[in-house]
């Protein structure tokens, strides 16, 4: 059996930890650049505020209903996520079994193969209790024979908090049938907008229960090949998506951002790309990797002075390195010249990104006849850089090409303090609390 543990309205729950006055108030959290609403408390959901709506469209409704609005604070959420995941591991792993797969910042799968069926409910209830006690974050838990079914269980648990107390074990056939009959195909994990529409319009398949009874060969042809076959089997309770090895490394590392405001000059674009490259290189070194390709892309939308229409266009290029590296300077040297190749004067740039690819472990690097020797001094330099930036303040030491003014930096006008990761922003307790 598999469990999926999912933090309820995760970002909103994090904000509430340090604002107990908002416990039963509507809360939303915005995406980077304060663009869209990406997390909503139950109260906000009930107000009809949809996931992903742009802030400017909902400003009125937010104000009318006194919704607390926060910019995203990834330092806080990342740290709270670590605490939740540590708690899950403490309660689920034992000497022989590593059972937890961290699936996203607010979700984890747990392999429960070693627990007898009659102990699942109790285990889940205790898990939920301890997580909220140790971290303050409420979670929902779904348990079933496969990952896809556990997702179904989780969704139902979360939707019916009153009856389920956020825990649902889907085990006997009758319960599974009932659950699948009440689940729309579009709500299945692995069925996106495209497939949902195709299933409904072309095949008249509306519920997960109907989909479960389709033949695997049909799924192979019509539902993304092997992916579709797995979906049918998982729905039938046959696990086909195993737990992922936590030691697996990323195959690509990207840093991409919208600008705080549109920019026009080559110089500013180069600054941004250099900055993103440095950030991506940090992530790369954190997993002891080296990259052999550096992709750069720019997104622009129209030209200055013309009427506004949202129709973004992409420019994309790639540089391939002779030798994989994690050296920020070398990666910047590969990335920045691409900007001038892509650049078109007069265009209004909204966004840029850097993607590091062809990643290999950095301890297995081949020497190169034409390159400098392995460069352990460079590696030491990069380590020193990372240590300083980590312990002092983001980017206190940086490459000059990254720029000093940074007019393009993203907007975060309503960000809470980084309560758990910065000494100078610690939560203060005073007499009024």
Partner DNA sequence: TCTGGGGTCCTAGGACCC
Residues that bind DNA (CB under 7 A): 31-33, 35-36, 38, 52, 54, 56, 103-107, 151, 188-196, 224-227, 250-258, 262, 283, 308, 310, 350-351, 353, 410
Cα–Cα distance, 217 to 137 (Å, whole number): 43
Identify whether the C-beta of residue 72 lies closer than 8 Å to the C-beta of residue 61.
no
Identify whether the C-beta of residue 302 lies closer than 8 Å to the C-beta of residue 311.
yes
With respect to DNA, which residue has the nearer C-beta, 68 or 191?
191
CA distances from 177 to 182, 211, 414 (A): 9, 12, 45
Q: Which of 167, 228, 169, 166 is nearest to 195 (CA)?
A: 228
Q: Which of 353, 203, 219 is nearest to 275 (CA)?
A: 353
With respect to DNA, which residue has the nearer C-beta, 108 or 115?
108
With respect to DNA, which residue has the nearer C-beta, 254 or 381?
254
With respect to DNA, which residue has the nearer C-beta, 138 or 262?
262
Task: Tell me the closest approach of the beta carbon of residue 23 to DNA, in angstroms.
Answer: 23
With respect to DNA, which residue has the nearer C-beta, 22 or 280?
280
Task: Tell me the closest approach of the beta carbon of residue 139 to DNA, in angstroms.
Answer: 12
Task: Tell me the closest approach of the beta carbon of residue 117 to DNA, in angstroms.
Answer: 25
Task: Tell me the closest approach of the beta carbon of residue 63 to DNA, in angstroms.
Answer: 13
With respect to DNA, which residue has the nearer C-beta, 304 or 404?
304
Provide the CA 417 distance to its chain's centre, in angstroms. 21
Task: Tell me the closest approach of the beta carbon of residue 358 to DNA, in angstroms.
Answer: 8
Provide the CA 57 distance to its chain's centre, in angstroms. 24
Q: Which two tokens stand for residue 178?
A: 């009932």
Cα–Cα distance, 406 to 253 (Å, whole number): 23
Residue 363 buriedness (CB in 10 A; 0-12 / 13-18 / 19+): exposed
With respect to DNA, which residue has the nearer C-beta, 316 or 390?
316
For tokens 């909220």, the residue is 132
Cα–Cα distance, 150 to 188 (Å, whole number): 11
Task: Tell me the closest approach of the beta carbon of residue 54 to DNA, in angstroms.
Answer: 4
Count of beta carbons in the 10 Å neighbourhood of residue 383: 11
Cα–Cα distance, 117 to 313 (Å, whole number): 53
Task: Tell me the closest approach of the beta carbon of residue 426 to DNA, in angstroms.
Answer: 26
Beta bridge partners of 361: 289
Task: Tell me the closest approach of the beta carbon of residue 20 to DNA, in angstroms.
Answer: 25
Using alpha carbons only, what angle is made at residue 192 by residues 350 and 148, rounded to the nearest 5 degrees?
130
Cα–Cα distance, 78 to 14 (Å, whole number): 10
With respect to DNA, which residue has the nearer C-beta, 115 or 272?
272
């Amino acid at each position: 059996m598999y469990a999926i543990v999912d933090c309820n309205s995760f970002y909103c729950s994090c904000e509430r930890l340090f604002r107990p006055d908002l416990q039963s108030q509507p809360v939303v959290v915005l995406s980077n650049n304060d663009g869209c609403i990406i997390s909503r408390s139950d109260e906000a959901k009930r107000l009809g505020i949809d996931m992903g709506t742009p802030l400017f469209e909902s400003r009125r409704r937010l104000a009318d209903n006194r919704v607390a609005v926060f910019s995203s604070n990834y330092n806080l959420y990342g740290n709270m996520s670590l605490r939740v995941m540590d708690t899950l591991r403490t309660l689920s792993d034992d000497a022989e079994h590593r059972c937890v797969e961290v699936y996203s910042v607010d979700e984890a799968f747990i392999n429960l193969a070693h627990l007898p069926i009659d102990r699942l409910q109790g285990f889940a209830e205790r898990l939920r209790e301890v997580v909220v006690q140790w971290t303050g974050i409420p979670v929902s838990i779904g348990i079933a024979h496969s990952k896809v079914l556990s997702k179904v269980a989780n969704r139902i648990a979360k939707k019916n908090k009153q009856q389920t107390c956020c825990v649902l074990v889907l085990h006997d056939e009758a319960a599974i049938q009932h659950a699948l009959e009440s689940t729309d195909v579009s709500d299945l994990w692995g069925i996106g907008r495209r497939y949902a529409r195709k299933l409904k319009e072309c095949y008249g398949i509306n519920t997960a229960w109907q989909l479960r009874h389709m033949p695997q060969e049909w799924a192979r042809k019509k539902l993304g090949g092997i992916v579709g076959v797995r979906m049918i089997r998982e729905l039938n309770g046959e696990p086909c998506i195993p737990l992922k090895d936590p030691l697996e490394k990323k195959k690509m590392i990207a840093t991409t951002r919208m600008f705080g405001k549109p920019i026009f000059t080559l110089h500013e674009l180069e600054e941004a790309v250099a900055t993103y490259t440095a950030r991506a290189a940090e992530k790369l070194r954190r997993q002891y990797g080296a990259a052999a390709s550096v992709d750069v892309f720019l997104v622009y939308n129209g030209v200055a002075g013309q009427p506004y229409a949202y129709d973004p266009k992409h420019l994309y290029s790639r540089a391939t390195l002779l030798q994989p590296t994690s050296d920020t300077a070398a990666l910047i040297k590969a990335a920045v010249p691409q900007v001038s190749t892509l650049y078109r004067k007069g265009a209004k740039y909204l966004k840029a990104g850097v993607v590091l690819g062809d990643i290999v472990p950095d301890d297995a690097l081949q020497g190169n006849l034409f390159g400098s020797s392995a460069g352990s001094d460079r590696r030491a330099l990069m380590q020193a850089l990372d240590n300083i930036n980590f312990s002092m303040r983001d980017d206190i030491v940086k490459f000059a090409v990254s720029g000093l003014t940074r007019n393009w930096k993203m907007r975060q006008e309503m960000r809470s303090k980084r309560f758990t990761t910065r000494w100078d922003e610690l939560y203060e307790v005073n007499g009024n609390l």
